[in-house]
Amino acid sequence: MPVPTPFHSRTSECCTSLLYKDWAGYYAVRSYDTYPEREYFAIRHAAGLIDVTPLFKCEVYGAGAAAFLSQIMVRNIAKLKVGQVAYCCWCDGRGKVIDDGTVARIDDTYFRVTSNWPSVAWLSRFSRGVEVTIEDSTHNIGALAIQGPYSREVAKIVSDIDVGELGFFWTTPSRIDGVDVHISRTGYTGDLGYEIWVDKKYAVKVWDAVMSAGKGYGLLPAGLDAMDITRIEAGYLLNGVDYYNANHCIIESRKSTPYELGFGWMVKLKRGSFVGRDALVVEKSRGPQRLLVGLHIDWDEHAALFAEHGLPPEIASAAWRTSIPVYGESGEQIGYANSGTWSPILKKNLALATVKAPFGKEGSKLRFEVTVEYERRTVTATVVKKPFFDPERKRA
């Protein structure tokens, strides 16, 4: 049975819909209202406050921490300056991705790793003889994400430092209402946003401070359904949905390489050895066999299929996570989409799909399955660049 997060006393007051889900063993609000719409729009137009406590967190510290993490991550973590955060993935010895997350250099010898799955055991495999301590901190730290165009205004009010100075993918210690916290300019919505990390004992105090600062800026608590729409718009993958942790796969074909997932840019092969490097050298020269791509699903065709039945076009009211077949122009299946959503801000029907590499070029026309009045039909889907939505304010 899931357990409450440190913010539960507050989130449950607001969650009139009683719509929760189990996120990594915690009660997490899916949507505070019956529909996630309002929360979605708060994230995109004002600001949303999301309880992201269930995200796995792991503290890695000690004289050898920087070199140690560089050995495991595909990026050169030792190069991070104090206060810098890196988004990256890590692989098994065969170059198959285990997970993706952020690595924050909080101090010269102190790092915090976030991940979708617990990562202590995996990291510990490589710690023999290294001067490093690895501790799961998931249950000690409450995490809140303030996301949206007005998140900076809200963060400025609550924090005792000049949040305006905090760059994209940087983190800093700060105080909120007398409580020590870390604030990082990170998030999972593809918008301007901040994440606050706080000792669970003071979690509620921080929640209250943020909510009250957000009053003038339309800040609303937002649930995971709203966040899911935004993360797809942002083109972010979800481990366990769009790809699988290599350690959790029964069959080889379910595993993915960073090059398949579009994580190739993170992989620094030239810097010497790290876990999976040799396999990745081979994979890179061979080229990935399949690609995780963004799709625009043609709306006019979609509407026309419904119109054949005299129906208005139907779409899911929230993001979906069922696997949907994707075909080539000649009708053979060449892949599948594991998540997608209607994007209210882009007015486009989006999906994240895994397709055979030759079909993954930008501009490729594919066929996407749609069920219309109990019939399976297809419409055109075009491969497009990710992120689908990439506002300037995210980095500005």
Q: What are phi and psi of 274, to 5 degrees?
A: -155, 170
Contact stretch for other proteins (CB under 8 A) within 20-28, 182-190, 240-248, 345-353: 345-353
Please answer whether residues 220 and 146 qualify as being in contact, where contact means their C-beta atoms are separated by less than 8 angstroms. Answer: no
Q: Which of residues 214-243 bind other proteins (CB under 8 A)?
A: 215-218
DSSP letter at 163? Answer: G
Q: Is 295 helix (H, G, I), strand (E, B) or coil?
A: strand
Q: From the CB of 359, what's the least distance to other proteins, in Å?
A: 24
Q: Residue 187: which H helix or E strand, with range? A: none
Measured from the CB atom, is 201 or 365 closer to other proteins?
365
Q: Kindly write out the interface string for residues 81-120 of this chain, putting x where it contacts other proteins by CB under 8 A and - elsewhere.
A: ----------------------------------------
User: Pick from 368, 372, 392, 56: which is nearest to 240 by CA?
Assistant: 56
Contact stretch for other proteins (CB under 8 A) within 32-40, 92-100, 134-142, 332-340: 32-40
Please answer whether residues 91 and 97 qualify as being in contact, where contact means their C-beta atoms are separated by less than 8 angstroms. Answer: yes
Q: Is 202 in the site for other proteins (CB under 8 A)?
A: no
What is the maximal distance between C-alpha atoms in the chain? Answer: 69
CA 184 to chain centre: 15
Measured from the CB atom, is 107 or 300 closer to other proteins?
300
Q: Residue 271: which H helix or E strand, with range? A: none
* Rounded Cα distance, 211 and 209, in Å: 6
* Rounded Cα distance, 137 and 59, in Å: 6
With a CB cutoff of 8 Å and minimum separation 6, the contacts of 165 are none
Binder among 164, 178, 310, 363 for other proteins (CB under 8 A): 310
Please answer whether residues 101 and 263 qualify as being in contact, where contact means their C-beta atoms are separated by less than 8 angstroms. Answer: no
Measured from the CB atom, is 193 or 258 closer to other proteins?
193
Q: From the CB of 189, what's the least distance to other proteins, in Å?
A: 15
Contact stretch for other proteins (CB under 8 A) within 99-107, 318-326, 332-340, 346-354: 346-354
Q: Is 315 in the site for other proteins (CB under 8 A)?
A: yes
Q: Is 320 in the site for other proteins (CB under 8 A)?
A: no
Q: Is 34 in the site for other proteins (CB under 8 A)?
A: yes
Please answer whether residues 188 and 14 qualify as being in contact, where contact means their C-beta atoms are separated by less than 8 angstroms. Answer: no
* Rounded Cα distance, 219 and 177, in Å: 18
Length of the chain: 396
Measured from the CB atom, is 266 or 305 closer to other proteins?
305
With a CB cutoff of 8 Å and minimum separation 6, the contacts of 105 are 66, 77, 80, 81, 82, 83, 84, 85, 111
Q: Is 78 in the site for other proteins (CB under 8 A)?
A: no
Contact stretch for other proteins (CB under 8 A) within 28-36, 200-208, 272-280, 319-327: 28-36
Q: Is 299 in the site for other proteins (CB under 8 A)?
A: yes
Please answer whether residues 202 and 193 qualify as being in contact, where contact means their C-beta atoms are separated by less than 8 angstroms. Answer: no
Q: From the CB of 344, what's the least distance to other proteins, in Å?
A: 5
Please answer whether residues 193 and 145 qualify as being in contact, where contact means their C-beta atoms are separated by less than 8 angstroms. Answer: yes
Binder among 13, 344, 358, 393 for other proteins (CB under 8 A): 344
Q: Which of residues 119-178 bind other proteins (CB under 8 A)?
A: 149-150, 153
Q: Is 286 in the site for other proteins (CB under 8 A)?
A: no
Q: Is 18 in the site for other proteins (CB under 8 A)?
A: no
Kindly list the residues in this chain that would bind other proteins in the complex (CB under 8 A): 33-35, 37-38, 41-42, 44-46, 149-150, 153, 215-218, 299-300, 303, 310, 312-313, 315, 342, 344-348
